[in-house]
Structures are given as structure tokens and as C-alpha cells.
Structure 1
Amino acid sequence: MSYAIYIGRNHSRTSHAWLGGYGDEPSSHWLEIVPAADHPAGATIGVGVGAEADMPGVRSSIPQVGHTLRHMRVSYSYYKGVPAPITNGGVNEKGVAVRDVWSTSRDELIAMTPVDQTGPNYSDLARVALERAGTARAAVEICGALIAEHGESTYGGNSHLFADADEAWVMIQFAGGKGLWVAERLGPDAIRASRPGYVLEVPVDTPDHPDFLWSPNFVSFAREMGWYAGGPFDANTVYGDGKGRWDGVCWIEAEMAERAARAGKIGIEDVIWAVRTERLTGDTAGYGQVVPLVTPADPDLYMMWHAPTGAIAAPFAPVFLGQRDVPAEFGPHRYLTTGESHRFMDLRKAVSGGVDTVSLVPQAAEATRSAVAESKRLMYLLHLLGEDALARATRAFAAREAALAGRTERLQRVVEAALAAGLREDALGLLGEFSASELRAGLDMVMALAGGFAAELSALGPVEARQEPVAFLQLW
């Protein structure tokens, strides 16, 4: 399902907007930085879903552009049969940030979706936006044009939240194979959560409205189906689940509005809290992500704060677009990676004619710690020990992040000066070393906390074997 939250810049202590959230899938997740690339004329990319998807389709190819942008993202290995690697989004060298969030369509649209559907799937759209978009609005326009020309491969309805330093857009793609979509602009006063993504009343009588975009058939198809006869056009009622804002969305939007009303407005600690709170975040959250929507002095200074699993059990650390790579501990591992259960770190079966028998994960990477696996262990210890243990872990993470935010600001000033002086290689090397060191320090904290909590749990006596796992109460 996933989760996104956008905070407009007028609510921000630092006068810039924020985009946070997480991917909500159980398979393996890894952080990666994808370099810019040039592509020859006639190049294509594979998109869509195959016959094995929960809502099947036919894979196809669409034209690649001549140049794709450097970006960083979190990828994962499985969701509803969509071909891996899959992504919910990240941020690119133009400062466009992307989050992908489920948004179900009405039952009739799901039922009419062709079994041979073609066109980009939700991950394809997120990736293409990162590779091509220079603004949030351009991301909507790119996705809309791709859907119009090639169709869309749906799993029942979806949304994206595209954001840049000036504005954000929520785009809903509806099931049905009809190319239906709508997008709403979010300005500097907006506080918007998506889970599911939603757009409510659309001013369909004002086709040039600056805050809305929609597909050419958006109104006519609803009239044709008898779902709309005139008056206010509520997109969620006409094409969605008709539930409007879900309880969790109402709660977090109200909580953030209350924080925005304080004298200090919203800071990074508040956005992290919105992604971490146990009311919203648990075992389903594959990672945490917070992007400050700024315009830095150099594109290599675009950054995001990353937690390797659900942030109730992992601290955030900064990752910069200009660094060359990320530590192997935060890259691909076999833990929860779809298909790895039948593969080996051994070439003998491949040599003897075995098919798909050698692991897709580098052996050197698998020899490192897995940040996801270690953080998951801590999460389950917190669940077993309860609210008090969670509060202690949260205080430790928050204290570390508060100190790290200050160190990160100082580093950015030093790197800006080095870049201005022409010391690019030195500056980018410093960014990478700082990020890698802080990511690993956060992992050390996770493992130390897990060790302490494991000893505490052991001291309390045998843990009763349970058929059902325990968890903190969540609103969704």
C-alpha cells in the first residue's frame, strides 16, 4: 500500500517543503544511486506486467529518451507479481522527488481491466519520472503522455505524489484499461497524506484550472457509465473506493497541522516522527524516506534521509546524490529477496546445466551485514517487549538524529565551499565517506539495541510460543 506525506513550505521551520513516506511491501529492499546515462537512438525499455501478475498483462517496450537523469531510490524484489526490480520512488538531480502509493479504483473498473493489459506499471512510472522529469508538474505530464500512448498496467488502481521545491502533485491512475487519471496540485500551504492516495472534488467545469490536470476522457467516461450526471465531481466517489480520506490519513494530517501551528512550525524531527510513529509504521514498512525539497547550490547536494526498514526500528541517516555509492550493508541481500530460496553461491550447478541456480546477489555483499535483517530483528524484539522498549529505542534514535542533523548541515556548508573552489572530487568523496560512516553508525546502534533488548527479553524468562505475532496498534 505504501505511505507518503507532503508538507508545504509555509509550514516548514526551514522554509522549504518536505516529502516523506515508506514502501509497504514485505520483500527485500535496498538503497541505490543510479547514474545519469545517454542512450542511442531507437533504444527501448521493457514495461508492464506478465501473465504471472495478480492482475495479468503482456510485457511490452516503449521508447527510451536520449538522456536519463541521475537519481537515488529504494528498490525491492516483489509486489503482486510485478517484475523486479521495483521502486516507489526517490529523488533525482533536478530535485524532483517521487512517492508511489496504492489507491484502489471502484470494483467495476477493476473488473473491466483487460487480462492482456499493456503499458507501464506503477513502478515503471515512478522510475521514468525520476529518469526524465525536471519538475513535479512535468512528472505528471510525462506519465499522462505515456498512459495515453502506451496504456497502463494496473494492479487495481494507484497514485503517485510528485514534488519539487515549488509544488507537489498527487496523481491518481485508475484501473479499467481506459487511461483514466487525475492530478491535483499541492501548494505551499498544503499538508497531504496518501494512504491511499486521494483526490476529492475536481473543478471539471474549469478545464484550464491551474491546480488540476486530468485525462481527456475523465468526465466523458463517467457520464457514459452513468456514474456522473452533473454537479460537483468527486473523483474518489466516481472512480475510487468512495471512502474519501481514511482514518489514518485524517489523523496524521491533523497531527501535522497542529505541529505546523506552533511557533517553531515543522522541522525534520516532526517529519521523521510522521514516518516513524507506531500508529502508522510497523512490519509492513520496508524502509523510511524523508526528502527536504530544497534547491541546493549544486545538484550533487540533493539528499534524502534513509532508514533501512520501518523507522520504528531503524534510525535515519543522510544519503547524497553526489556520492558514488552506498555501503554494501544497505544494498541488495538475499534476505527476503524473491527467488533466492532456490539459488546458491556456488557455480557447480550452473556449470552442470542448472537453470536459475546462482544467486543474483554478489557474494561480497552477502558477506556483509544486512541492514534490513538486523533492523527487522530489533523490530520484533520491540514488539515482544512492548511500549516501554519502543519508547527507549525511539528516544535513542531521535537523540542520534538531532545531533546528526547539525553535523549534516555543517558538512553541507563545507562541501559547498569546496565545490565553489573547484575541489569537486574531494567534496564528493567527503560526502560519500560521511554518509557511509553515518549509515554504518546507525546500523551499529540497531545491533547494540537489539543485543540489549535480547538480553532483557531472555532475563524475563521464556517467551511464550505464539501462533500469531504481536504488534503495536496501527490505524491502517
Structure 2
Amino acid sequence: MSYGIYIGRNLTADGHAWLAGYGDEPSSHWLEIIDRAEHAPDATITVGVGPDSDMPGHRTQIPQAAQTARHMRVSYSYYLGVPAPITNGGLNEHGVAVRDIWSTSCQALIDMTPKDQTGPNYSDLARIVVERARTAREGVDIMAQLIAEHGYSCYGGNSHIIADPDEAWVVIQFSGGKGLWVAERLGAESIRASRPGYIGVVPTEPNETFLYPDHFIQTAVDLGWYDPASGAPFDVNAIYGDGKGPWKGMAWVEEEMRTRAAKAPITFEDVCWAIQTEKLTGDTAGYGQVVPLVHPEHSDLRMMWHAPVGPVTAPLVPVFLGQTEVPDAFAQHRYLTTGEAHRFLDRRKEAADPDTVSHVAQGIEVSESAVYEFKRLMHLAFQDEALLREVWDHWRLMEAQLAGDLPTVLETARVLLEAGKPDLARRVLTRESSAWLEDALQDCKALVGSGYARLRQRDILNRTGKPLAPEQFW
């Protein structure tokens, strides 16, 4: 289902906007940094969903861009049959960040969706925007053009937040095979949470704040869902969506952030809290991301804060666009990777059936799995309130120390870049981020060891088959 929150720059202590969130999927997750690439004029990419997806369709080829941008993202291996690898977005070298968030269409549109639907799916749209967009508005235009030219493959409707240092857009795509989408601009004074993605009343003509295709209003008229003569407002959520308005958790976190903003500018710690609080984040959160929306002097200095599982029990650690690799522990492992249960690190049957060979490199599989270790810590902490508070305090202290170290690392890399030594700058960024991620993993393992021993000794390990977790809004 996923969750995202955008905070406009006029409300923050740092003077820049923030985009934060996580993905809600049950499968494996891994961190990737993808380099800029050049593509041949006739290059294509495969998009859409297949016949085995929960809402079936046909995979098709569409043109690739001449150049795709360097970017970083979290990928994962399964959701509702959408072909892997899947992504909810990330951050690119131009400063465009994307978060994908579920947004259900009304049942009537879902029922209208063709069984042979074609066109980009939600992950394709997120990936293509971070590969191609130079601004958030261009990201909206790219999505609009793709849907108009190639269609849209859905699993019931979806949305994205696309943001850059100047503005952000909520974009909702609807089921039904009718090419329906709508976008709302967010600005410097905005606080917007999405779960699900939500847009309410829009004007009956597009303007600088609301965008949609020419047939957006007319389609509702043709279906008998809206009568312009009535003078009623065009409520997107009521007509094309679930009709529930902003969900309770969205309203709660937005109000909490507005209350904080009224007292003092919103801090980095406030933004992190919005995706860390146990009221919103639990086992379903596959990872965490917090992106400072800034324009540094060099694109290599762009960064995001990353947690390998839901950050309620994991730290957010800086990852730089300029670093050259991700530690093996944070790369793809077989743990929770869909399809790996019938594959082997063994090639003896490869000739007869290539899918018997694992998709994970053997050298990476023998490393520790950060996702596995942090999941262990999460489920220990969820069994004991005192341990949960101890883990929370430990990671918040680590994040504060990292925030203190970060300016020096960025300045060191900047000086090297200005001196024409990009390889040395990238080495610094890679070394520092990798060391921080490794320190977090080692602390996690220590907390797991002590937490397991304490719960076992007190005989309170939960063996009932009924998982314990803090109460959440969703």
C-alpha cells in the first residue's frame, strides 16, 4: 500500500522541502544505485503486467529514452503479480524524487479494466520518471504522455508523489482502461500525507494547481457520474476514488505535523518521526526513505536517508548518489525474494530449466542480510515495550550523530569535486556511507543478541502464532 509525506520548504528549519515514506510489500527489498546510461535510437523497454498478474494484461515494448539519469532506488521482488524487479521510486541526479503510493479506484472503474490491459504499470512509471525527469513537473508530463500513448496497466489504481526542490505533485492514475489521471501541485507551504494517494475537489478546467487530460471530466459525464448543470463541485475522490476522503492515519499525521510547524519550524527529526512512529510503521513497511530536496553544487552530493526495514526499529542512514557501491548486506538476498524457494545456487539443471538457478549472486548471498537481521530486531522489540523504547532511543541517537557528521563528509567530497578529483570524492562518499551502514548492522546484531537473551530468560518469547505489534492507524 505504501506511505509518503511531503513537507514544503517554508515550514522547515533547514529551509528546504522533504519527501519521506516507505513501501508496503511482503517480499525482499534491496538498495540500488543505477548509473547514467546511453541508449541506442531503437532501444526499447518492456512494461506492463502479464497474464498471471492479479489484474491480468499483456507486456509490451515501448521506446527507451536516449539517456537515462543516474539514480538510487529500493527494489523488491513481488506485489500482486507485477513482474519483478519492482520499485516505488527514488532520487535522481537532477534532484527529482518519487514515491509510489496505492490509491484505489472505485469498483466500477476496476470492473471496467480490460483483461488485456497494456501500458506501464505503477513501478514502470516510478522508474521511468527517476530515469528521465529533470523537474517534478516534467515527471507529471512524462507520466501523462506515457499513459496517452501506451495506456496504463493497473492493479486497481495507484498514485505517486513527484518532488523536486521547488515543488511537488500528487499524481493519481485510475483503473478502467480510459487513460484517466489527475495531478495536484504542492508548494512551499504544503504538508501532504498520502496513504492512499488523495485528491479532492478540482476545478472543471485544468489550471496551474490541477492538471488532468481533456476527457477527465467528460468521462464522468458520459458515465452518468457527474452532471455539470447541477453546479456540484467535481470531487475526484467521490467520483473516481474510494469516496472515503483522507483516511484517519493521513489526517492524524498531517495535523500532527501542522501542530509542530505552528510551534517551530519542522526539523529533520520531525520528518523522520513521521515515518518512524509505531502508530504508522510496522512489519508491512518494507524499508524507509527520507529525501532532503536540495540542489547541491554537484549531483554526486545528492543523498537520502535509508532504512532497510520499517524505521520504527531501524536507523535511517545517509546514502549518496555519488557512492559507487552498496554494501553486500544491503543488496538483494534470497530471504523473502519471490521465486527463490524453487531455485538453487547450483547450475546442474540450468540447461533444461534456467529458472532453477538463483537470481542472487553467490558472493552476495554468503554475506549477512541486513533485512533479515533488522526484521529479527523488529519482532523482538514488538514483543516487549521496554525493548522497543530502548531500540528507538538507540537508533535516534545514532541518527543524531550521523546528522552531525554529515556536513563534514559532504564538504570533503565537495572540495574534492571542485579540485577535479571526482574519483576521490566518490571514494570518500562510498567509504563513509558503507561504514555507517555496517555500524548500524553490527549494532542491530548486538541488540538482537541481548534482546533475545532477555526475552528468553524472562520466558516471554511469543510462541502463540498470534504476532504482537503496536497499535497502528492502518
TM-score by length of 2: 0.98
> Within 1, Cα distance between the matches of 2:209 and 2:72?
28
Residue in structure 1 matched with residue 181 of structure 2 by the alignment:
181
Q: Is the 8 A contact 1:303 1:319 kept in 2?
A: yes
Residue in structure 2 matched with residue 384 of structure 1 by the alignment:
383
Q: Is the 8 A contact 1:316 1:442 kept in 2?
A: no
Post-superposition Cα deviations, 1:64-97, rounded to whole Å, max 9, x if no partner, equal 1111111000000000000000000100000000
> Within 2, Cα distance between the matches of 1:452 and 1:141?
51
Q: Percent identity?
A: 58
> Within 1, Cα distance between the matches of 2:421 and 2:69?
23
Residue type of the alignment partner of 2:239 = V
Which runs of structure 2 are paired with 1:118-267 in the superposition (5 Å)?
Answer: 118-204=118-204, 206-207=205-206, 209-230=207-228, 231-263=232-264, 265-267=265-267
Residue in structure 1 matched with residue 419 of structure 2 by the alignment:
421
Residue type of the alignment partner of 2:306 = H
> Within 2, Cα distance between the matches of 1:192 and 1:372?
29
Q: Is the 8 A contact 1:4 1:99 kept in 2?
A: yes
Q: Is the 8 A contact 1:106 1:240 kept in 2?
A: yes
> Within 2, Cα distance between the matches of 1:184 and 1:127?
20
> Within 2, Cα distance between the matches of 1:368 and 1:464?
29
> Within 2, Cα distance between the matches of 1:120 and 1:463?
45
Residue type of the alignment partner of 1:370 = S
Q: Tell me whether 1:85 sits opposite 2:85 in the alignment.
A: yes
Q: Is the 8 A contact 1:279 1:475 kept in 2?
A: yes
Residue in structure 2 matched with residue 109 of structure 1 by the alignment:
109
> Within 1, Cα distance between the matches of 2:169 and 2:76?
24
Runs (4 or more) in structure 1 with deviation over 3 Å come to none
1:443 to 427, 436, 441: 441
> Within 2, Cα distance between the matches of 1:324 and 1:435?
10
Residue in structure 1 matched with residue 431 of structure 2 by the alignment:
433
Q: Is the 8 A contact 1:342 1:357 kept in 2?
A: yes
Which runs of structure 2 are paired with 1:49-68 in the superposition (5 Å)?
Answer: 49-68=49-68
Alpha carbons of structure 1 residues 462 and 5: separation in structure 2 relative to 1, 3 Å: closer
2:454 to 450, 453, 456: 456
Residue type of the alignment partner of 2:79 = Y
Residue type of the alignment partner of 1:62 = I
Which runs of structure 2 are paired with 1:323-338 in the superposition (5 Å)?
Answer: 323-338=323-338
Which runs of structure 2 are paired with 1:268-283 in the superposition (5 Å)?
Answer: 268-283=268-283
Residue type of the alignment partner of 2:162 = F
> Within 2, Cα distance between the matches of 1:24 and 1:445?
25
Instruction: State the 1:462 CA deviation.
Output: 5.6
> Within 2, Cα distance between the matches of 1:97 and 1:464?
40
SS, match of residue 463 in structure 2:
coil
Residue type of the alignment partner of 2:187 = G
> Within 2, Cα distance between the matches of 1:369 and 1:314?
16
Residue type of the alignment partner of 1:357 = T
Q: CA RMSD in A?
A: 0.9
Post-superposition Cα deviations, 1:358-394, rounded to whole Å, max 9, x if no partner, equal 1110011011110000000001101112x22211111
Q: Is the 8 A contact 2:383 2:462 kept in 1?
A: no
Unmatched tracts of structure 1, length 5 or more: none
Instruction: State the 1:464 CA deviation.
Output: 4.8
Residue type of the alignment partner of 2:423 = E
Residue in structure 2 matched with residue 473 of structure 1 by the alignment:
471
Q: Is the 8 A contact 1:172 1:183 kept in 2?
A: yes
Residue type of the alignment partner of 1:246 = W
Instruction: State the 1:350 CA deviation.
Output: 2.1
Residue type of the alignment partner of 1:258 = T
SS, match of residue 20 in structure 1:
strand
SS, match of residue 237 in structure 1:
helix
Residue in structure 2 matched with residue 40 of structure 1 by the alignment:
40
Residue type of the alignment partner of 1:29 = H
Residue in structure 1 matched with residue 308 of structure 2 by the alignment:
308
> Within 2, Cα distance between the matches of 1:232 and 1:461?
59
Residue in structure 2 matched with residue 31 of structure 1 by the alignment:
31
Unmatched tracts of structure 2, length 5 or more: none
> Within 2, Cα distance between the matches of 1:388 and 1:236?
41
Q: Is the 8 A contact 2:140 2:169 kept in 1?
A: yes
SS, match of residue 359 in structure 1:
coil
Post-superposition Cα deviations, 1:150-199, rounded to whole Å, max 9, x if no partner, equal 00001000000000000000000010000000000000000000000001
Matched residue pairs, number?
471
Residue type of the alignment partner of 1:359 = S
> Within 2, Cα distance between the matches of 1:335 and 1:225?
46
SS, match of residue 199 in structure 2:
coil
Q: Is the 8 A contact 1:313 1:446 kept in 2?
A: no
